[in-house]
Each structure stands twice: as C-alpha cells, then as structure tokens.
Amino acid sequence: DIQMTQSPSSLSASVGDRVIITCQASQDISKSLNWYQQKPGKAPKLLIYDASNLETGVPSRFSGSGSGTDFTFTISSLYPEDIGTYYCQHYDSLPRVTFGPGTKVDIK
C-alpha cells in the first residue's frame, strides 16, 4: 500500500508569512495528488487537484507543485481565514484513496 506522510504536523505562522507544507508518497504516484483545507467543524474543501491545478474560486495565494514522491503546498501570504488543517490525498486506478495525516495551521 502507498503511504502518505505530511510535514510538519502543525505550524504556527504570522499573518503575511509564506507557509509551506510537504507531502511525501512511499512510491511514485506521478501527479495523482490533491490538497484540501478543513476548517474546524466543517467539511474539507478541495483547493488543488492533480498536484498543481488551482480549483475554481480558490484564491491564488494557494499553490501546489511536485510529482513522483514529493509534493509541496504553499500559501504565499497567510491570511487569518486560512487557519485550519490541510490534507493531501492520493488516488489511483485500483481504486485506492489515501489521505495524508494532515497539517494544522494556526496564527502566531
């Protein structure tokens, strides 16, 4: 089975800071990687799909990159409303769907 890891597990940053979250797959997954934001008490929201494509309506300060086993999610300038937990999610054709353990982001 493919394992997904995320780092850090949590972070605290100031408004305006650049925030970077990484997601690593245990084997090559090409670009089959999505990113979600989950605010407390709410359902997750799709932000980035297929590693680097910005979902319609999502602010451009969010971006994703990577392929193979190493992926990066970036918030270019942190806003107060960006607090929450961010998950990466892999999929394949078997199908297998695996979420990463999440990265909790809060404001310093």
* Helix/strand/coil for 15: coil
Task: Pick from 52, 99, 106, 107 the residue near another protein by CB under 8 A.
Answer: 99
Comparing CB distances to another protein, the nearer of 37 and 75 is: 37
61 DSSP assignment = T
Residue in 30, 34, 29 with CA at minimum distance from that of residue 44: 34
Q: Is 45 in the site for another protein (CB under 8 A)?
A: yes
Pairing of strands 19-25, 4-7: antiparallel
Q: Is 22 in the site for another protein (CB under 8 A)?
A: no
Return residues touching another protein (CB under 8 A).
Answer: 32, 34, 36, 42-46, 49-50, 55, 87, 89, 91, 94-95, 97-102
